[in-house]
Chains A and B, each alone.
Chain A
Amino acid sequence: MILGDLLDAPVNDASGNRLGYVVDVRLVLDGPLDGLLAAPRLHGLLVSPRTGTSFLGYERSGVEAPALLARYFAWRHRGTFLVHWQDVAEVAPGAVRLVDQFRRFSPALPATGRQAGR
């Protein structure tokens, strides 16, 4: 499987109801050292209920300018949630199915020092 198979894929819950589309994936750099860098690990999927288009970076809580654009993207992606990779039951061609009792997490990325402009 490559990342391109996941992006834009529709997401269903265990009983087959449509939850939304994969708009992004979150990776964590905490794997074993792979050459110089820690190997990335797939932490979870960002699922947006209405659209497969991008957040353009406005999922980070430290980025809110220009205000109108930030509001627009927040509104367009309202209801977006992060689901952990463990809660993904199956990636079938054309759809991602989640486990029965998956948990929804906030999609926001906390601001880092650089993002706060310091």
Chain B
Amino acid sequence: MKKILGVALGILTAIGGFLDIGDLVTNAVVGSRFGLSLAWVVVVGVVGICLFAQMSGKVAAVSGRATFEIIRERLGARAAGANLGASFLINLLTLTAEVGGIALALQLASSVEPRLWIPVAGLAVWLVIWRTRFSIMENVTGLVGLTLIVFAVALFLLGPDWSTLADQALHPRVSAQEGLASYWYYAIALFGAAMTPYEVFFFSSGAVEERWTIKDLSQSRLNVLVGFPFGGVLSVAIAACAAVVFLPKGVEVSSLSQIVLPVALAGGKLALAVVIVGIVAATFGAALETSLSSGYTLAQFMGWSWGKFRRPARAARFHLTMIICLVVAVGVLMTSVNPIAVTEYSVVFSAVALPLTYLPILVVANDPEYMGEHVNGRLTNAFALVYLVIIVVASVAAIPLMIVTGAGS
């Protein structure tokens, strides 16, 4: 019984933890502009993150080494240093977006200016990182984040024309006023939102934090392979809600209040309250994960002691890194930059940086000196190579498309 509960808890937190500000914003924007014609990208992204998270989790469980320790060992100091620079900056951008997302959600609940909430949000994230146990932190934000299921409920309550939605999803067309370049730009943004690098830093370091062994692999595989696809279903539900409410009127989503409007229309005040709780939990959970990822990546590269299983005094530089990153994120947000715009850039740059972490993990997952008999099988490698091509193409195409489309505008 305890085991079944453990499996259920793992799957539920994987669903609730899948969504972050990047998924919320990108799916809603895409839904309002392209309907469900980009839903296939969510499928591609979810399969990709399942594969990538599973590989990095396996490497961490078998070899006891997290992602950036491996990158440093395999690439050497200089190439790994360049890799760290890019990954660290993009992770900082994502952290900024998540803290901004918390503040925007709290603004929706309270009508208090987001700039008053931003320092509070940053402080709360730091306190939780400093004081709370890893497993509690993960489970609480994951379970509360499950309330985002209200997007799926809202979609049913809105009573959409299902055949139109299915037609958009199954026969993707690009409308005349959007153009092919914007379509592919948003395809890359959605892909980057589903496959953010921090998820992998966090997943592999979390495996070390929770002292996974080979025995835990089947459970982790189940969490990932069941939890993430359900998270993907919620992503599509967010896009579908926006497609039903905004696409016919030609309104483009550009604020958090618009993202939650379909839920409010369908379910009234109660649903609105639930969705705000869900968004706070999702962005707060992701803010914790990105803060920790900033500490993990730098400490693993430099060889500092790291991890929440150590008391903060025993991993002082790890904790100091996270404090500095949170201060920077809060500082950037206090300049009144729009967190939604930060989010849109962060998902695209995530796609740009993805090959930097994906390739070393793929190589090490095949290295018998790390993995012994647990090296990748043929089927995994076949998938992994297909995704290597997709990831490299998305990464190379992202910045030219950003320039051509004026960042999708």
Contact = CB atoms under 8 A, between A and B. Distances in A.
Interface in B347-370: 360, 362-363, 366-369
B385 interface: yes
A32 interface: no
Contacts of B381: 65-67
Given A56-B74, A115-B368, A69 B363 contact: yes
B74 A66 contact: no
A12 interface: no
B368 A117 contact: yes
Contacts of A114: 368-369, 372
A115 B369 contact: yes
B375 A117 contact: yes
Given A114-B368, A117-B372, A68 B385 contact: yes
B179 interface: no
Contacts of A56: 74-75, 360, 363
A101 B362 CA distance: 40
Interface in A37-89: 53-54, 56-57, 62-63, 65-69
A63 B372 contact: no
- Size category of the A interface is 10 to 19
B368 A54 contact: no
Interface residues of B, number: 20
B56 to A, nearest CB: 16
A116 interface: yes
A66 B385 contact: yes
Contacts of A116: 368
A43 to B, nearest CB: 19
B386 to A, nearest CB: 10
A3 to B, nearest CB: 10
A18 B360 CA distance: 31
Contacts of B373: 117
Contacts of A63: 366-368
A57 B363 contact: yes
Contacts of B74: 54, 56-57
Interface string A104-118: 000000000011110
B376 interface: yes
A69 B372 contact: no
Contact of B362 (A7, A53, A66, A117): A66
A54 B366 contact: no
Interface in B370-391: 372-373, 375-376, 381-382, 384-385, 388
Given A54-B74, A66-B381, A66-B385, 19 more contacts: A54-B75, A54-B76, A54-B79, A56-B75, A57-B74, A57-B367, A63-B367, A63-B368, A65-B366, A66-B362, A66-B376, A66-B382, A68-B385, A69-B362, A69-B363, A69-B388, A114-B372, A115-B369, A117-B372
28 contacts: A7-B76, A53-B79, A54-B74, A54-B75, A54-B76, A54-B79, A56-B74, A56-B360, A56-B363, A57-B74, A57-B363, A63-B366, A63-B367, A63-B368, A65-B375, A65-B381, A66-B366, A66-B376, A66-B381, A66-B382, A66-B384, A66-B385, A67-B381, A69-B366, A69-B385, A69-B388, A115-B368, A115-B369
Interface of A: 7, 53-54, 56-57, 62-63, 65-69, 114-117
Interface of B: 74-76, 79, 360, 362-363, 366-369, 372-373, 375-376, 381-382, 384-385, 388
Going nearest first, the 8 A-B pairs with the smallest beta carbon separation are: A66-B381, A65-B366, A115-B368, A56-B363, A117-B368, A66-B385, A117-B373, A68-B385
